[in-house]
Amino acid sequence: MSEEAKKIIKKKKRKKLFIILIQILIVITFFIGWEILANNKILNPFIFSSPSRIFNTIYELIISGELWSHIFTTLYETILAFTIGISLGFIIAIILYECPTLAKIIDPFLTMINSLPKVALGPIIIIWAGANTKSIIVMALLINLIVSIMNIYNGFQGVDPLKIKLLKSFGATKGQILKYLIIPESKRTIISSLKINISMTLIGVIMGEFLVSKKGIGYLIIYGTQVFNLTLVMAGIIVLIILSFIIYEIVSFIEKKLST
């Protein structure tokens, strides 16, 4: 490796480190400012709580073991709904790609379902699936499935038509074109849809837990609201933010590995 290349790499690493340090500084400044404002009653501590009270609540939940139970429940529901959603989305996207007429028929319905506020269907889902984990999974699927189908299908549609014609001229079947051209060419789109899917899945799971769950981070937040314990609500939100960040970074890592 040349000296010039080494300098460029070092410069990029320094810039990345600088960005991370600034991000950490912003977070620390935010929490210190919040604590000062709450302690001086500039912010109402009952409504906004304070970082010290929130982190004490999180610590107590960890010591009691209650927090891990809530995290495990939410993770289990998220992974299950994510796996089902991305699998069904991939299969349905293939069917729609192979049947253009069906895709045109279904397209407006997919758009309508996607734009529908899913929480409005909550009472119906509870009646159909029951007040249990099934309702939470169904809620998450309603949110992530349509997005997965549309993203993957659009990825298939974006493949260069000249390449398809070339394979057809060599006598390739639809299945061969799909296997050796469409899916490999849409690899980036499919992988990118994982990020969107996992985010939408987590939103769906939390919404479902708001409605029916007796365990999970969503339940922790809604329970805190019901008993007017705003510190518990904030603690649940902080835990959810951390969990979301970890899940997103894991999916980003998988994306990088699959892209290479």
Task: List, in order of start, the domains of the chain with CATH numbers.
Answer: 65-259 (1.10.3720.10)
Q: Which residue has the tokens 């296997």?
A: 179
Contact 139, 167 (CB under 8 A): no
For the chain, give percent helix, strand, coil, nearest 5. 85, 0, 15
Contact 71, 239 (CB under 8 A): yes
Per-residue pLDDT of the chain (260 residues; tens, 9 = 90+): 566 767 777 778 888 889 999 999 999 999 999 999 999 988 888 888 899 999 999 999 999 989 999 999 999 999 999 999 999 999 999 999 989 899 899 988 888 888 888 777 888 888 888 888 888 999 899 888 988 898 899 889 888 888 888 888 888 888 888 888 888 888 888 888 888 888 889 988 998 898 887 889 999 999 998 888 899 999 999 999 999 888 888 888 887 777 66
Catalogue the long-range contacts made by 43-49 (C-beta closer than 8 Å, 24 or more residues apart): 46/230, 47/230, 48/230, 48/234, 49/230, 49/231, 49/234
DSSP 171: T
